[in-house]
Structure 1
Amino acid sequence: MKRLLLLLFALCPSLFAAKPNILMIAVDDLRPQLRCYGVEQMHSPNMDRLASQSLLFNRAYCMVPTCGASRASLMTSIRPAQGRFMTHLASAEKEAPGIVTLNTQLKQHGYVTLSNGKVFHHPEDNAVGWSEPAWRPGAPATGAPSAAPKKKGGKGKAKAAAATKDEKGKSRGRPFGISDLSDDEHSDGQVALKTIADLRRMKEGGQPFFIAAGFFKPHLPFICPKKYWDLYPEGSLKLPANYHAPKDAPEVSIHNSGELRAYTGVPKNGPLPDAMALEMIRGYHACVSFTDAQIGRVLDELERLDLAKNTIVILWGDHGWNLAEHTLWCKHSCYETSMRVPLMIRAPGFNGGKKTEALTELIDVYPTLCELVGVPVPAHVQGRSFVPLLTDPAQSWKTQAIGRFTNGD
């Protein structure tokens, strides 16, 4: 028998090839605000590097422009509907009971599944699908710096804690600001460190892995170290040309950007002062660059460990974000700026450096990853695998991408 196995391995080694690993990188509130998407003022070298090795999707869309609902839809490959996946608090487990999520499906087929940072909105969502309890950093889920002071030299963390509350302890604090903490003292620095540690563990384990690394920035508040703000000097950025409501826009399409209004110093209604709006835009850019640096650390470690050659890397944003377009901030609308997302995938055996104009939806991620690793696609899945686009990005594809917000059908 041993001789037979050796002969089979010699004649057909592909039968014994290890299943590909998966590194899934999720970025909160990231619109296609990257240089690889033609935004020339952006400093995003690490995501741009990944894009140059990947298939980059120019017309990828979320299903619903709010965090929890978008992530629940992606991880189940089920579209939102009335009463399901409508708000940022959406839970896949509660709103789609009995549905096998992406992580659960991979775990049931031999994968070690790990969740670091923000993957599902609720870390306890579909806990059975993770090989270990979903891990979150000690910093607040908004991505603000950790408020826990150090025994020595903790002045910076005390400042960060004060910045998240007003004098009555009721406000979220300022919506943007410069932090004097190191990268590793921020949520996303901690996510990078934990993911790097897990990659090292998985290297020694020999079992295929699915690691989901969820980065918080550029979620509000736009707080990150000064070196990232310095990439965008004052006066280098402008307000959008369409800093006004579209003509004859439906009333329901324009909201008051309520997520932002809870922060200190932000007017409760009406437009932001131009100076504040420009600093908001600058802060968003800075936080994208901050998260890009953390993603770069993870990608570098993947290469250093010699895991990249057998690891699928997919990166997506959970929805878009408005930077004063149509008078809007945040997401929560069905305009292009809220619905369109960055999406790129690098897969072993496929040539990278390609782009596609094919319409793609985030519910397509689940069946795509299953097909790439040879795991069955459950019958409930509503997305369509985009594996064929990896070989022919220009082929005829979907004719529509369907998204929604709140309870409208």
Structure 2
Amino acid sequence: MSYLKKIIANCLFIIGLILLASCNPKKEKVVQSINQELKAKPNILFIAVDDLKPELNFYGATHIQSPNLDKLASESLVFERSYCNVPVCGASRASILTGLRPTRHRFLNAFTKKDEDAPDVNSLPMTFLKNGYTTISNGKIYHHGDDDKNAWNEIWHPETKGNYYALKENSDLRTDDDRGPAFEVAEVADSVYSDGKIANKGIRDLRKLKKTGEPFFLALGFMKPHLPFNAPTKYWEMYDEKKITLPENYIQPETTPSRAFHKFGELRNYYGIPQGNEPIDDELANKLIHGYYASVSYVDAQIGKVLTELDRLGLAENTIVVLWGDHGWNLGNHKLWCKHVTFESSLRTPLVVKIPNVTKGTKNNNIVEYIDVYPTLCELSGIEKPTHLEGLSLLPLFEGKSIDKNYAVSKFKDAVTLIKGSMFYTEWINDKGEVSDRMLFDHTNDRLELNNLAEKPEYRESVYELSNDLRTKWGEDFLKRPLK
């Protein structure tokens, strides 16, 4: 009898091994097929663009000229529904680079430091550094230049001496309380402004890395189209300001909670911008939009120079290129400017990933969030994922497969948003998770977010379900205060 039990036990053990090996065959197939196109350690070119919103040709817009980004997108997987986890630069960058969600007490504002909010966590560059990569940070990757400094072999910033203007008359307008004009048109070379310097440094790095032959994680943090909208004249001349129009949702509906709006204080810091609650007149609004467009075209040209050199050196054959904007931006949407809100215009972001010989310009409509980038790059590079990561690898999406997640959670200050299906649901909460205001938009028939459904009786059940779902998805540490 004991001999029979032993046979049965062995059979059950073998069956278990077979089931375990076959539990996720699709994922293993994806990993193998993609890794066949790459060397053991593919390079990573990690391009961050400050304040870049997905108002680009490959996202369906036709008014901004960005031929180099368009070409990159035609060779990449384009994520059509990509969302940042917090719409402010410092916090967003700390979140994507650690793979951690923002909480009520972590990753809060523009001045967030990874070293303060997540000091014991291995960041994305640190993980690659520990796996034999040369890691270089150029320009604005973290908000603070010395943040997470041990994760990089080199950190470099362009020399500006705190002055981002090419023209003396604009530099002279800077004071301790004022940042100078909100835009500048100057007959200067591309390299006069910071992004031209960053592109040139990236090109020098690629040439140096080509010689060493070592795998690299090269991060380029471009400054534009962040304010001030300073760009050489030729980029301004690409647009006819008379043909620029205000956005369709240039309105603040009464059904939307008033706390959803703000005074766009970031913009009001600049010389010549109305102060307090004074509105931006249409002429100035068009000039700002013009400046944003010119700045995008300018940074597009700088990125193009780097990508051209990557090809010329033969490095593109084994380099994964990731391009992302740290958050969206309001160009008059809801009569707002800058970011700092939880409307889609602040949360939706450009995200394109090029894998040589794999991606070919396909667009993916799965909802993804920035905390998914870290685990994805680990899997694409054959690196073991750290256990702290809260996102999900997007690797199956690169072969047209599905993943077990199709939502995003974003927050700014007291507002927390769940993006799920066509629903865009926001709650304003306190430290106990108690709700004071709600906002719900159905993008099926209200993509401009003008009709708040949250207080309508017929949506009461949907609000209840979305509220519960939000609490299961915002992370188990969301309401916890950090230990002192």
TM-score by structure 1 length?
Answer: 0.90
The CA deviation string for residues 154-175 of structure 1, in whole angstroms up to 9 with x for no partner, is: xxx4x24x41453766421111
| Amino acid of the structure 1 residue aligned with 2:192 | E
Residues 237 and 397 from structure 1, CA distance in 2 versus in 1: closer, same or farther, beyond 3 angstroms? Answer: farther
Stretches of structure 1 that go unaligned for 5 or more consecutive residues are 1-12, 146-156
**Deviation (angstroms), 1:381:** 0.4
Q: Does 1:185 align with 2:197?
A: no
Q: Over the residues paired in the alignment, what is the CA RMSD in angstroms?
A: 1.9
CA distance in 2, matches of 1:401, 1:239: 29
| Amino acid of the structure 2 residue aligned with 1:359 | I
TM-score by structure 2 length?
Answer: 0.76
Q: Does 1:346 align with 2:354?
A: yes
Listed as ranges, the matches of 1:204-243 within 5 Å are: 204-243=211-250
The alignment of Structure 1 onto Structure 2 pairs a total of residues equal to 381
The CA deviation string for residues 383-403 of structure 1, in whole angstroms up to 9 with x for no partner, is: 11111100016x355232100
Identity among equivalent positions (%) equals 47
Residues 168 and 348 from structure 1, CA distance in 2 versus in 1: closer, same or farther, beyond 3 angstroms? Answer: closer
**Deviation (angstroms), 1:281:** 0.4
| Amino acid of the structure 1 residue aligned with 2:183 | F
Partner of 1:24: 46
Partner of 2:312: 304
3-state SS in 1 of match to 2:47: strand
3-state SS in 2 of match to 1:380: coil
CA distance in 1, matches of 2:37, 2:303: 33
CA distance in 1, matches of 2:204, 2:108: 35
Query: Given that residues 199 and 302 in structure 1 are in contact (C-alpha distance below 8 angstroms), is that contact kept between their aligned partners in structure 2?
Result: yes
| Amino acid of the structure 2 residue aligned with 1:193 | N
| Amino acid of the structure 2 residue aligned with 1:299 | L
CA distance in 2, matches of 1:189, 1:375: 33
**Deviation (angstroms), 1:139:** 2.2
Partner of 1:383: 391
Partner of 1:148: none
Q: Does 1:137 align with 2:158?
A: yes
Residues 259 and 17 from structure 1, CA distance in 2 versus in 1: closer, same or farther, beyond 3 angstroms? Answer: closer
| Amino acid of the structure 2 residue aligned with 1:286 | A
More strand by share: 2
With 204-213 and 176-185 compared, the bigger mean Cα shift is at: 176-185
CA distance in 2, matches of 1:378, 1:103: 12
| Amino acid of the structure 2 residue aligned with 1:398 | K
Which of the numbers 178, 183, 208 marks the counterpart of 1:171?
A: 178
**Deviation (angstroms), 1:234:** 2.1
Partner of 1:262: 269
CA distance in 1, matches of 2:272, 2:257: 29
Q: Does 1:69 align with 2:77?
A: no
CA distance in 1, matches of 2:119, 2:149: 13
CA distance in 2, matches of 1:327, 1:163: 27
Listed as ranges, the matches of 1:31-42 within 5 Å are: 31-42=53-64
Partner of 1:4: none
3-state SS in 2 of match to 1:377: coil
The CA deviation string for residues 202-245 of structure 1, in whole angstroms up to 9 with x for no partner, is: 00001100000000000000011010001111202101121111
Which of the numbers 148, 168, 175 marks the counterpart of 1:126?
A: 148
CA distance in 1, matches of 2:217, 2:175: 44
Query: Given that residues 44 and 320 in structure 2 are in contact (C-alpha distance below 8 angstroms), is that contact kept between their aligned partners in structure 1?
Result: yes
3-state SS in 2 of match to 1:49: helix
Query: Given that residues 165 and 171 in structure 1 are in contact (C-alpha distance below 8 angstroms), is that contact kept between their aligned partners in structure 2?
Result: no
CA distance in 2, matches of 1:60, 1:217: 20
3-state SS in 2 of match to 1:359: strand
CA distance in 2, matches of 1:173, 1:324: 21
Listed as ranges, the matches of 1:317-328 within 5 Å are: 317-328=325-336
Listed as ranges, the matches of 1:362-377 within 5 Å are: 362-377=370-385
The CA deviation string for residues 110-163 of structure 1, in whole angstroms up to 9 with x for no partner, is: 00000000001111111000012x111012678x24xxxxxxxxxxx4x24x41
